[in-house]
Amino acid sequence: MTLAVAIAAAGLAAIAPWRSAQLPARDRVAEAMGRLALTFAATAALAVSLAPAAAAAPPRAIELRSGWEVRDVVVPPAPPQPPPPLETSPSAAASAAPRAPAQAAQAPSDWRPARVPSAFSGVARAAEYGGTEKLYRLVFTPPAVEGYEWKLRFEQVRRRAVVSLNGQRIGISIDPYTPFEVPATGLRPGEPNTLEVLVDSRKDPKLQEGWWNWGGIVRPVSLVPVGPAHVSDLALMPTVHCAGPATDCEATLLIDGILGKLPAQEPQTEVVEGRRVRLPLPQPLLTLRFRPPRGEPFTARVPLRGVRGGRRRQKIQIELPRPQLWSPDRPRLYSVTAAVRYEGEVVQRERHRIGMRSIEVRDGVLLLNNRPINLRGASIHEDAPGRGAALTGFDMDTVVRELKELRANVTRSHYVLSEGLLRRFDEAGILVYNQAPIWQRDGGANLLKTPLQRSRAVAQVRRTVLAGRGHPSVIVQSVANELTFRPDKRPASRRFLLEAAEVARDLDPQTPVAVDIKTRPVLERQGTYEAFDVIGINQYFGWYPWVEDFNLLQPFLERMRADYPEQALVMTEFGAEGRPDIADWPADVKGSYGFQTQHVARTIDLVDRLPFMSGAIHWTLREFEIYPHWRGGAVPGYGPNDNIRHHKGVLTYDGDRKPAWRELRERFARTPLYR
């Protein structure tokens, strides 16, 4: 059981003004807190003042951007790749689909300059969907800083990475969508070092995955200093409790991270009342320097509790004064400098930007700062013409601009978005429906049926939540997308969902946990979904043949409300293909721009009429590259090998607006953010 540290009521009243004149009250609070014992948490005292803390600067993280080289290596080709099912389709729908051919084996090549981040190729070619393997190399000279070790942080490598330093393997990653870190074992500070990353993008044909298989080091790589006391995955997660709609609010901050093992030291003793006693191990101190959007900065000091022999989780809750709320209409951010002190020196420093906001579900309604919210937006894939999944800053700015122009207040993706995009969404006030890439994984080969695959899926959920938590824009943590229709009758799927929900809620207790489901006109209630706060509804009524009749959508949604009165309902996917090759065909022909336009219009009009729906997210904002043979439902079955464009976007792959874009924009603009 985890116990969050709360300040006693009497002490809280004394320190609420956060003035230096309240020193005796703070001392009493510190003494009371020091008596609290924690499981998976550590704290002994809390001190707050308006004075900044002077400290020496520890070394900074170094982004490894330039000087990379890459070459092709000889590997067996990826096996033929079957396309996964169409969105929300029966699992059997893919069985008769043609397979993408195996990619031809590549010849070895000489080293050539490479950019990092970058994809193997920024152009999707059907024959390359299965993936291949390349070797990256970088020679770099790190600084020599006494008392520090280093680790390498990779934001994303697709699909698998084997990391070597100076000829010795130091780490492996098999998750293509979440950040990972490896200790820089064998690093020679002040001397040239050779970093090699073997990147294997060959896709397991058993893995259901509907987007293009981009390969490469597609997000930044950094060298991160690790001092004698270091907190990994440090997250600052505010929450707000308001008596009224965004009024009479109080704020708390949950601090969560893993404190590494402390250095071994000779035991220190002291004579007390004639007896020699061993002194406790010196403990780190976490100092948080807050700079609010308006007003004076303030500082909080929180003791940590570590051990010599291993790592310990720190999970501590403190109270914050007079919160200035973050919301999409007012995305006010606090700048926070987090510094870890150990034996009088600052040994770790990180900068965070946090937003004071609360997200909760009450009586089946999603609330932001105690106000019912209307989510309206469009999903995205990190896929830019010529660059694939390796987005530049310009690409990220473009995504933000396009969502704002659409009057969207929320977006969603099938994997955790890059840190650069999440920071931009924090600043722009665009909400994020964060989701682990567990898509249709219990269909086809049913990878969730084995304990190993379930544990890997849960680990992927864990890493997704860790990467997204702490961002005020992240309002939902979704653990899976379009698993079986009936998890109550599929024990392996049910076990995964329940464990994943527990993990997500433990790591980010401030954020609702969701599961996104595929739909049918008649679908019996599933008790498994009671473990979730939000149910995402992926529906294509009026588009795919198994949900042909759009008129059945409203009764279906009303049935969902009756079956799940405590869960917030969000339409996480809807849409229809608008294909450029038949754009001008009549509006009653699937695939025409006219059909797409009227389809999205009547869907949003329906959602606007149903007060119990918390939102609707169109699939997608832009077109993106997809596995070969895609036809998207406009034409039955699967197409030739070179069909690799998903056309449900209201923007073309190059960013041109389709007529459906205007319909969405008009309706999003007239829907208030709050009910």
Q: Can you give the pLDDT at residue 436?
A: 97
φ, ψ dihedrals at 328, nearest 5°: -60, -35
Q: Quick: pLDDT tens for 272-330.
A: 777 877 767 889 999 999 999 999 999 999 999 998 878 999 999 999 999 999 999 99
Q: Are residues 247 and 387 in the same domain?
A: no
Q: Are residues 409 and 426 in the same domain?
A: yes
631 inside domain: yes
39 belongs to a structural domain: yes
- Mean pLDDT for the stretch of residues 377-386: 97
Closest listed residue to residue 162, CA positions, set 138, 139, 140, 195: 195
The single-letter DSSP state of residue 570 is E
Claim to verify: residue 373 and residue 322 sit in the same structural domain? no
**Residue ending a domain, choose from 318, 336, 357:** 357
Question: Above 60 in pLDDT, residue 563?
Answer: yes
Last residue of a domain, one of 314, 331, 357: 357
Within this chain, do residues 452 and 375 fall inside the same structural domain, yes or no? yes
Does a structural domain hold residue 206? Answer: no
Q: Which of 5-9, 10-14, 179-183 has the highest mean pLDDT?
A: 179-183
Domain housing 465:
360-670
Residues 436 and 459 in one domain: yes
Is residue 339 located within the same domain as residue 373?
A: no
217 is a domain residue: no
Pick from 23, 197, 414, 547: which is nearest to 15 by CA? 23
Please report the pLDDT score of residue 266 as a whole number: 67
Residue finishing a domain among 320, 336, 357: 357
Question: Does 352 share its domain with 497?
Answer: no
Which residues pair with residue 156 across a beta bridge?
Answer: none
For residue 117, tell me if it sits in a domain: no
Strand partners, 224: 151
Q: Is residue 549 part of a domain?
A: yes
**Residues 598, 460 share a domain:** yes
Residue 25, in any domain of the structure: yes
Q: Where are the alpha helices (DSSP H) in 578-658?
A: 593-609
Q: What pLDDT does 636 receive? A: 73
| Each residue's pLDDT tens digit, 247-268 | 999 999 999 999 999 987 766 6
Q: How far apart are CA 618 and CA 633, in angstroms?
A: 17
What integer is the mean pLDDT of 568-578?
97
Provide the residue type at 620 as one letter.
Answer: T
Same domain, 320 and 445: no
Question: Residue 103 has what pLDDT?
Answer: 64
Whole-Å CA distances, 417 to 229, 399, 452, 462, 553: 29, 12, 26, 15, 30
Q: Which of 86-90, 268-272, 394-398, 599-603 has the lowest mean pLDDT?
A: 86-90
3-state SS class at 466: helix
> CATH no. for residue 448?
3.20.20.80
| Residue whose token pair is 């890459």 | 70
What pLDDT is recorded for position 272?
77
pLDDT digits (tens, 9 = 90+) for 343-355: 989 999 999 999 9
Is the predicted pLDDT of residue 620 greater than 70, yes or no?
A: yes
Provide the 3-class DSSP secondary structure of residue 31.
Answer: helix
**More confident of the two residues 24 and 219:** 219
Domains in the chain, number: 2
Residue pair 361/310 in contact (Cβ under 8 Å)? The answer is no
Q: What is the pLDDT of residue 12?
A: 30
Domain holding 340: CATH number? 2.60.40.10
Residue 598, pLDDT above cutoff 80:
yes
Q: Which residues contact 247 (CB under 8 A, 6 or more apart)?
A: none
Average pLDDT value for the chain: 88
385 shares a domain with 458? yes
Mean pLDDT value of segment 639-666:
93
| pLDDT the model gives residue 309 | 79
Q: Is residue 455 part of a domain?
A: yes
Q: Domain check: are 307 and 386 in the same one? A: no
What is the share, in percent, of the chain residues with pLDDT greater than 90? 76
Please check whether residues 286 and 378 belong to one and the same domain: no
Give the pLDDT band of residue 7 (cuts 50, 70, 90).
very low
| Predicted local confidence at residue 242, as pLDDT | 93
How far apart are alpha carbons 563 and 586 in whole angstroms?
39
Q: What percent of the chain has pLDDT over 70?
A: 88
Name 551's Cβ contacts closer than 8 Å, sequence gap at least 6.
Answer: none
Q: How far apart are CA 396 and CA 424, in angstroms?
A: 8
Residue 628: the pLDDT is 87
Q: How confident is the model at residue 91 (pLDDT cuts 50, 70, 90)?
A: low
What pairs with residue 287 in β-bridges? 301, 339
pLDDT beyond 80 at 440: yes
**Region 569-576 average pLDDT:** 97
Flag whether pLDDT at 551 surpasses 50: yes
Task: Indicate the range of 51-60, 286-295, 527-536 predicted with least confidence.
Answer: 51-60
Q: Is the pLDDT of residue 363 over 50?
A: yes
Residue whose C-alpha is closest to residue 616's, from 627, 626, 625, 605: 605
